[in-house]
Amino acid sequence: MPAFPTDSLNEPGFPEAVRAGKVYFYPARKDWSFHLRLTDCDLWYVVGGRGTLLINQDLSADIAPGKVFIFLPGDLVIGHQEPGQPVEVYAVHFSVNRLAATQRKMLRRINGHEVRSMAVWSNRFTELFGIENRASGTLPERQKIHLLNFLLISLWQEVCDSPWSRAGVRLDQVLDEIRRWPDRSWTVQRLIKTVGVPERTFYRIFRNALELSPQEFILQARVERAALLLEQTEMTVSEIADDLGYEDAAFFSRQFKLFQGISPQGYRKNRRK
């Protein structure tokens, strides 16, 4: 596979070079159209609908579910949707310290790429959108930058049919399971076996994707489930701790505060004002 040829857009230098801006979700609208000259970079992921894009007056591309596009500074982008096919798009605005001609050329190879698994990529963009809109937490901005880094590298490697990318797909499936069942007894060795890569590679992929260790991600998933239970149920803190597999409610409360910056009781009180 060709290497990503850069001293600023690669691993591990990429996170320091990228400055993530806002993450948006544009829902379906009957009158959707797009006509703009970009001043920064945009990464688009099409969730639904169909239409056409014209980039710099010379490159035409179809808009369809599962397709991704990268627009670079100076690009003129014109988009229209087909009648009865309202377009829905995740859009990530970001900037890069410097972008050489070879980098621009290789980023454009991603344009119009149709991802292999919409379920996997929809989860990735949903996670990025969730970090953008997370009300509390200690690492949202750096997590956003690292997840954007992971998305761009994964797209590049999927375009080049990299085994690393296939491991990334399996990792996404594991992350989704952890989010759905955070109370299970997850172990790092179990995760490594499922993803099917050497331990060192597993940690590198995980850290690049989330800037968290596996243990930290499992803890974060439990805290997020606890926050949901605090908001939507009348369960006590001890009951929630027990439901998530904690034997010590006080230890659970300390871990909750580590991620949310507030105690479980304080979180519930603030959310119910």
123 located within any domain: no
Do 185 and 270 sit in the same domain of this protein?
Answer: yes
Q: Residue 216: give its domain's CATH number.
A: 1.10.10.60
Task: Give CA–CA dist 4/155, Å, rounded.
Answer: 11
Coil, strand or helix: which one is 154?
helix
Is 127 a residue whose pLDDT tops 60? yes
Q: What's the pLDDT score for residue 37?
A: 93
Do 272 and 183 sit in the same domain of this protein?
Answer: yes
For 222, other C-beta atoms within 10 Å of its C-beta total: 24
Contacts of 110 (CB under 8 A, 6+ apart): 68, 69, 70, 152, 155, 156, 159
Band (28; pLDDT cuts 50, 70, 90): confident
Pairing of strands 59-63, 88-96: unpaired
What is the average pLDDT across 102-114?
77
Residue found by looking up tokens 């990530």 in the block: 92
Domain stop point among 117, 134, 150: 117
Higher pLDDT, 136 or 85: 85
Helices (H), the chain: 14-17, 101-108, 118-132, 140-159, 163-180, 188-195, 199-210, 214-232, 237-243, 249-260, 264-271
State the number of CA atoms in the 13 A half-sphere of 81 facing the CB: 21
Residue range 150-200, pLDDT digits in tens: 788 778 777 776 555 566 667 777 888 888 899 998 999 988 888 888 888
Pairing of strands 33-37, 88-96: unpaired
Do 13 and 106 sit in the same domain of this protein?
Answer: yes
Structural domain including 18 reads: 1-117
3-state DSSP helix/strand/coil % of the chain, to nearest 5: 50, 20, 30
Radius of gyration of the chain (CA): 20
Please state whether the peptide bond connecting residue 12 to the residue before it is cis, i.e. omega within 30 degrees of 0.
yes
Q: Residue 34: give its domain's CATH number.
A: 2.60.120.10
Residue type, 195: V
Choice among 68-82, 123-137, 153-167, 204-218 with the minimum mean pLDDT:
153-167
Q: What's the pLDDT score for residue 147?
A: 78
173 located within any domain: yes
Q: What's the pLDDT score for residue 161?
A: 61
Is 12 a residue whose pLDDT tops 50? no
Do 111 and 174 sit in the same domain of this protein?
Answer: no
Number of domains in the chain: 2
